[in-house]
Amino acid sequence: NAGVTQTPKFQVLKTGQSMTLQCAQDMNHEYMSWYRQDPGMGLRLIHYSVGAGITDQGEVPNGYNVSRSTTEDFPLRLLSAAPSQTSVYFCASSYSLMAGEYGYTFGSGTRLTVV
């Protein structure tokens, strides 16, 4: 089925460890983004990309890196995990930056716990 695939679904890290959250889409969307969702707060944008080779920072980029070598993939790297990065992470994609008539397509999320 066409959509956004995120792996893993669950992850527990120790403080200071690094890891990569994977995101892949098969809809040929140019725009991809990473959000985090925390209780009592709206989804917050971490990083986004408007096409292969082009990335930029969102609202809460510190502690995260991204790259976009292909249209399909947009991995999110945690450099040195901290308890404050405990959250649910969503990858989203769209045919354009402003989403427009079709909105964003979200993955099912990665629930990350940092101990």
Partner 1 sequence: EDQVTQSPEALRLQEGESSSLNCSYTVSGLRGLFWYRQDPGKGPEFLFTLYSAGEEKEKERLKATLTKKESFLHITAPKPEDSATYLCAVSTSGTYKYIFGTGTRLKVLA
In the bound state with partner 1, the residue whose beta carbon lies nearer, of 4 and 66, is 4
C-alpha to C-alpha distance for 8 and 10, rounded to whole angstroms: 6
Classify residue 82 by burial, with Cβ atoms within 10 Å: 0-12, 13-18, 19+: middle
Helices (H) and strands (E) in the chain, counts: 0, 11
Smallest separation, CB 74 to partner 1 (Å): 15
Quick one: 2 or 98, whose CB is closer to partner 1? 98
Q: Where does this chain touch partner 1 (CB under 8 A) — which range of 14-22, 53-61, 62-70, 73-81?
A: 53-61
Among 13, 105, 112, 114, binds partner 1 (CB under 8 A): 105
Q: Binding-site residue total for partner 1 (CB under 8 A)?
A: 26
Give dist(CA 53, CA 114) in Å, integer.
30
Q: Which two tokens mark 20?
A: 């990569």
Stretch that binds partner 1, among 14-22, 44-52, 68-76, 78-86 (CB under 8 A): 44-52
In the chain, the largest separation of any two C-alpha atoms, in whole Å, equals: 41
- Whether 33 and 91 have beta carbons less than 8 Å apart is answered as yes
* 60 near partner 1, rule: CB under 8 A: no
Contacting positions for partner 1 (CB under 8 A): 4, 40-45, 48, 56, 58-59, 90, 92, 97-109
